[in-house]
């Protein structure tokens, strides 16, 4: 990238400094022949049986954990005398009906989990078919990228995600090259995660039916008579209705950890970047090679379910293949931290030493190992505190991944797939700045420690940690603390200025530049573009409408980027939504700016262009729909005002006109009527255009 553009977009010189000094081991390998592509396992036909057996066995344990979890929660609520009596009674009724639902149906659920909305799909997707599809799934207002799914029901997800706005966008078809070891490890991880989340999948206290509104509780000689929830045939139907969406969300989030290939001589060169959003604009590789040198030394954190163990037992669990550790790396997720080995254990001090390595997930030849790091079990012994830390990391990771997804990439952060060097450099710089604050800003670190400490006190006062599951009350605390930490990270950036520009305004500024470049390109090749559009039978007004929509989307994003909020966690979510909207418009606009001669014999290229145009039509219609609503609203308002004024002044004039002797007053009366008629006609015209969609 030329120096002027670097100066223009990389405006964080102070923040791009190395985060911590470190010993760096970067391996540069010589060339050798490419590795042979992986094939479908020879014993693949046995995988389906393995998956079925493992799922049933592990699901049975999950249901037992869930029953214990809700029994404990019911006891906790019953003992909470500070809680409003009516709300406490309703909560106990709801929890007892959940327990009854699970006890009555646990064997049936194990035998036919889909019937009870336990949509355990991913283990079967990976074990059922030798060919798989990979795509992005939009479900319940969330986007799940690079999801593997099957061809047949229910493993194609078509039935479970049906509904307005839910979509599956196919990216590619692949061979299912999973091994038996990978499958069994994935299923184990899937159910470990399910044990952690089963409570909040089945139960959300905010959904508790209210007494005298959703349910009736009447005393009888035999006790209490409790009606079924309003609009439901039974309590069982009500409980089950709350499971589906949250279970599908859980399932879609479970992904097999792809094996990062060991760097080998003559590693295949990285794939070329995606075509530029701006036609004919050269895409330049973002230089990330030096970033790995400045990554922080992260000490592994012991997961909550292992927090009660001694250092010796941690070593045993780790060496048996268990997922004992996690890392505090929620933002710069291009890099994967791993514990390579536990080198020694000090039983007396209850500590152990580990070797940690970090690897670039896009370019695995870029890796680095740290000197031995000491882990103290004293700092990892409270499962509730570990849950708070895990929730903090997960919340931040999900939030920042949503930003990357809004820009068309996933959490691997392949900047070269953004389709524009300027956007890539801005995102790279923003991530560097945010991670610097996250790891190095003493005030932020202090405030986070206070929030975690306060959260831990609340959890220890009111909740339980049993069988590897945190209570709903404690989960609420963990969620609240995580959202507070998210807001704590976002808020100072909203008000900060670097090189005179508000931090979150960098993206809309570069979006504006990209739009300007697209417009200039189209202007230079207008005749060729018109020829291409005629050849494809496309309408030029779609290009014009989409340009206006993209400009409006970017304007709204830019205006929002400096706005204030009482809740900066939600502010960030809104910012991401606006980024996604603006980027989708710009990206599609670039794809339909056909400023090069198209070879119609290239069927793949023709299909890409047609798909882009179809998407542009949809986006343009969204823009028109907004304009139409405004036309109808203002048209109806003007029509009403004009009609009322015309009628009122016509009546007044008819009654008073002959009696008026002053000619100037008569002229005023006539002028007001004429203006009212003009407003009436203008309103009728706008309303007509709006109704016709003009």
**Residue 196 near residue 468 (C-beta atoms within 8 A):** yes
Rg (CA), the chain: 31
pLDDT digits (tens, 9 = 90+) for 135-156: 888 888 777 778 999 999 999 9
Query: 484 and 421, same structural domain?
Result: yes
Cα–Cα distance measured from residue 146 to residue 137, given in angstroms and rounded to the nearest whole number: 8
For tokens 């283990």, the residue is: 123
The torsion of the CA quartet 672, 674, 677, 679, rounded to 10 degrees, works out to -70
What's the pLDDT tens digit per position in 589-619? Answer: 999 888 888 887 788 888 888 888 888 888 8
**Rounded to an integer, what distance in angstroms lies between the CA atom of residue 431 and that of residue 434?**
5
Mean pLDDT of the chain: 83
Do residues 398 and 307 both lie within one domain? yes
Domain endpoint, select from 447, 475, 495 = 495
Cβ burial, residue 285 (10 Å; 0-12/13-18/19+)? middle
What pLDDT shows up at residue 613? 86
For residues 530 and 449, state if they share a domain. Answer: no
pLDDT for 2: 42
Closest by alpha carbon to 302, among 390, 373, 369, 368?
390
CA nearest to 137, candidates 115, 155, 116, 118? 155
- Whether 430 and 536 map to the same domain: the answer is no
DSSP 8-state code for residue 292: G
pLDDT per residue over 471-493, tens digit each? 778 888 999 999 999 999 999 88
Last residue of a domain, one of 463, 495, 527: 495
Three-class DSSP category at 136:
strand
Specify whether 236 is located in the same domain as 366.
no
Domain membership flag for residue 299: yes
> Among 422, 597, 610, which residue's Cα sits nearest to residue 517?
422
| Residue 386 covered by a domain | yes
Alpha carbons 180 and 188: distance in angstroms, whole number:
12
Q: Is the pLDDT of residue 511 over 90?
A: yes
**Which residue, 83, 159, 184, 134, is CA-closest to 473?**
83
Long-range contact list for 560-563, CB < 8 A, 24+ apart?
Answer: 561/502, 561/504, 561/505, 561/507, 561/508, 562/494, 562/502, 562/504, 562/505, 563/494
Q: Are 276 and 420 in contact (CB under 8 A)?
A: yes
- Residue among 591, 585, 596 at smallest CA distance from 613: 591
User: What is the maximal distance between C-alpha atoms in the chain?
Assistant: 111
Query: CB neighbours of 158 closer than 8 A, spacing ≥ 6?
Result: 168
Q: How far apart are CA 655 and CA 495, in angstroms?
A: 62
163 & 295 share domain: no
Of the listed ranges 177-186, 201-210, 382-391, 665-674, the one predicted with least confidence: 665-674
Residue 610 lies in a domain: no
Residue 357 in this model has a pLDDT that exceeds 60: yes
Residues 182, 302 within the same domain: no
Alpha carbon distance, N-terminus to C-terminus of the chain: 44
67-76, 504-513, 613-622: least confident range: 613-622
Count of domains forming the chain: 4
Q: Which DSSP string corresponds to 617-671?
A: HHHHHHHHHHHHHHHHHHHHHHHHHHHHHHHHHHHHHHHHGGG---HHHHHHHHH
Q: What is the DSSP string of 503-570?
A: GGGHHHHHHHHHHHHHHHHHHHTHHHHHHHHHHHT--HHHHHHHHHHHHHHHHHHHHHTT---S-HHH
For residue 139 the two structure tokens come to 């479900």
- H or E element, residue 2: none
* Local structure of 280: helix, strand or coil: coil
Q: What DSSP string describes 410-458? A: -TT--GGGSS-HHHHHHHHHHHHHHHHHHHH-HHHHHHHHHHHHHHHHH
Same domain, yes or no: 146 and 224: yes
CB 516 within 8 A of CB 586: no
Shared domain for 681 and 651, answered yes or no, is: yes
Does residue 300 sit in the same domain as residue 178? no
DSSP 150: -
- Asked whether residue 34 is assigned to any structural domain, the reply reads no
Query: Within a 10 A sphere around the Cβ of 516, how many other Cβ atoms?
Result: 12
Q: What is the pLDDT of residue 150?
A: 93
Alpha-carbon distance 332 to 312, whole Å? Answer: 32
Least-confidence region, from 119-128, 236-245, 628-637, 666-675: 628-637
Query: Over the stretch 14-71, which tens digit does the pLDDT of each residue have?
Result: 223 333 333 333 333 333 344 567 888 999 999 999 999 999 999 999 999 999 989 9
pLDDT of residue 674: 75
* Structural domain that includes position 670: 630-692
Q: Cβ distance 224 to 91 under 8 Å?
A: no
Per-residue model confidence (pLDDT) at position 16: 30
In this predicted model, which residue has the larger pLDDT, 26 or 200?
200
Question: In terms of domains, do 472 and 527 share one?
Answer: no
**258 belongs to a structural domain:** no
Question: 220 by DSSP, 3-state: which?
Answer: strand
Domain co-membership, 490 together with 506:
no
The last residue of one of the domains, among 253, 288, 308, is: 253
Please compute the mean of the pLDDT values over residues 106-122 and round it to a whole number.
95
In sequence order, which residues have a C-beta less than 8 Å from that of residue 436 and are 6 or more positions away?
15, 17, 19
pLDDT at residue 27, as a whole number: 33
Residue 116, in any domain of the structure: yes
| pLDDT, tens only, 644-689 | 766 665 666 565 555 555 555 656 656 766 776 676 676 566 556 5
Least trusted range by pLDDT, from 159-163, 342-346, 599-603: 599-603
What are 558-593's pLDDT values in tens digits?
999 999 899 999 999 999 999 999 999 999 999 988
pLDDT score, position 654: 62
pLDDT of residue 43: 92
**3-state SS, residue 145:** strand
Per-residue pLDDT reduced to its tens digit, 454-472: 999 988 877 666 655 667 7
Does residue 16 belong to any structural domain of this protein?
A: no
pLDDT higher than 90, residue 280:
no
Q: Tell me what pLDDT residue 164 has.
A: 81
Q: What is the pLDDT of residue 80?
A: 82
CA distance 504 to 494: 6
In a domain, 345, yes or no: yes
- Three-state SS string over 556-570 comes to HHHHHCCCCCCCHHH
Q: List pLDDT tens digits, range 408-444.
A: 999 999 998 999 999 999 999 899 889 989 998 989 9
- Long-range CB pairs of 281-284 (<8 Å, 24+ gap) are 281/420, 281/517, 281/521, 282/421, 283/416, 283/419, 283/420, 283/421, 284/1, 284/421
Q: How far apart are CA 263 and CA 525, in angstroms?
A: 45
- Separation CA 214–CA 236 (nearest Å): 15
CA-CA distance, 471 to 463, in Å (whole number)? 6
């Amino acid at each position: 990238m030329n120096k002027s553009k670097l100066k223009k977009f990389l405006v964080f010189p102070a923040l791009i400094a190395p985060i911590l000094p470190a010993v760096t081991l970067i391996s540069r390998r010589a060339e050798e022949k490419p590795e042979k592509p992986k094939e479908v396992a020879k014993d693949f036909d046995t995988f389906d049986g393995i998956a079925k057996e493992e799922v049933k066995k592990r699901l049975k344990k999950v249901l037992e954990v869930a029953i214990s979890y809700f029994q404990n929660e019911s006891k906790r609520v019953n003992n909470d005398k500070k809680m409003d009596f009516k709300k406490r009674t309703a909560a106990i009724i709801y929890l007892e009906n959940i327990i009854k639902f699970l006890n009555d149906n646990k064997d049936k659920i194990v035998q036919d989990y889909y019937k009870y909305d336990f949509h355990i799909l991913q283990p079967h997707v990976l074990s059922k078919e030798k060919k798989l599809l990979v795509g992005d799934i939009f479900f319940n207002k969330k986007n799940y990228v690079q999801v593997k799914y099957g061809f047949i029901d229910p493993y194609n997800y078509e039935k479970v995600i049906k509904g307005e706005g839910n979509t599956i966008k196919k990216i590619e078809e692949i061979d299912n090259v999973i091994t038996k070891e990978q499958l069994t490890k994935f299923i184990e991880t899937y159910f470990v995660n399910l044990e952690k989340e089963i409570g909040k999948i089945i139960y959300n206290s905010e959904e508790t039916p209210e007494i005298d509104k959703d349910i009736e509780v009447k005393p009888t000689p035999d006790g209490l008579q409790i009606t079924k929830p309003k609009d439901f045939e039974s309590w069982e139907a009500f409980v089950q209705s709350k499971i589906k969406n949250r279970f599908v969300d859980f399932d879609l989030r479970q992904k097999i950890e792809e094996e990062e290939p060991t760097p080998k001589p003559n590693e295949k060169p990285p794939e070329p970047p995606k075509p530029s959003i701006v036609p004919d604009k050269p895409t330049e590789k973002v230089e990330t090679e030096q970033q790995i040198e400045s990554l922080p030394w992260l000490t592994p954190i012991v997961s909550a379910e292992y927090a009660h163990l001694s250092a010796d037992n941690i070593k045993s669990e780790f060496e048996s293949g268990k997922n004992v550790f996690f890392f505090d790396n929620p933002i710069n997720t291009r890099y994967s931290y791993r514990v390579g080995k536990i080198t020694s254990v000090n039983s007396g001090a209850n500590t152990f030493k580990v070797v940690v390595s970090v690897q670039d997930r896009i370019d695995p030849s870029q890796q680095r190992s740290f000197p031995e790091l000491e882990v103290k079990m004293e700092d990892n012994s409270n499962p509730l505190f570990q849950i708070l830390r895990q929730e903090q990391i997960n919340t931040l990771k999900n939030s920042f991944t949503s930003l990357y997804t809004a820009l068309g990439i996933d959490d691997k952060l392949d900047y070269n797939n953004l389709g524009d060097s300027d956007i890539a450099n801005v995102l790279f710089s923003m991530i560097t700045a945010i991670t610097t604050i996250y790891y190095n800003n003493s005030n932020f670190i202090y405030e986070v420690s206070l929030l975690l400490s306060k959260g831990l006190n609340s959890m220890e006062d009111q909740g339980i940690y049993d069988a590897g599951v945190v209570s709903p009350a404690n989960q609420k605390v963990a969620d609240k603390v995580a959202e507070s930490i998210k807001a704590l990270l976002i808020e100072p950036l909203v008000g900060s200025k670097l090189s005179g520009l508000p931090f979150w305004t960098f993206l809309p500024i570069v979006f504006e530049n990209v739009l300007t470049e697209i417009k200039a390109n189209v202007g230079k090749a207008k005749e060729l573009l018109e020829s291409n559009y005629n050849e494809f039978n496309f309408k030029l007004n779609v290009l014009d409408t989409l340009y206006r929509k993209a400009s409006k989307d970017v304007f709204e994003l830019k205006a929002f980027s400096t706005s204030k909020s009482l809740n900066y966690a939600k502010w960030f979510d809104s910012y991401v939504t606006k980024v996604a909207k603006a980027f989708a418009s710009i990206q599609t606009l670039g794809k339909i700016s056909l400023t090069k001669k198209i070879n119609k014999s290239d069927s793949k290229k023709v299909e890409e262009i047609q798909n882009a145009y179809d998407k542009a039509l949809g986006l343009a219609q969204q823009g028109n729909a907004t304009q139409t609503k405004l036309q109808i609203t203002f048209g109806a308002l003007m029509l009403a005002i004009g009609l009322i004024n015309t009628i009122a002044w016509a009546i007044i004039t008819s009654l008073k006109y002959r009696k008026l002797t002053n000619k100037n007053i008569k002229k005023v009366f006539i002028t007001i009527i004429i203006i009212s008629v003009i407003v009436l006609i203008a309103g009728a015209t706008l309303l007509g255009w709006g109704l016709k969609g003009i």
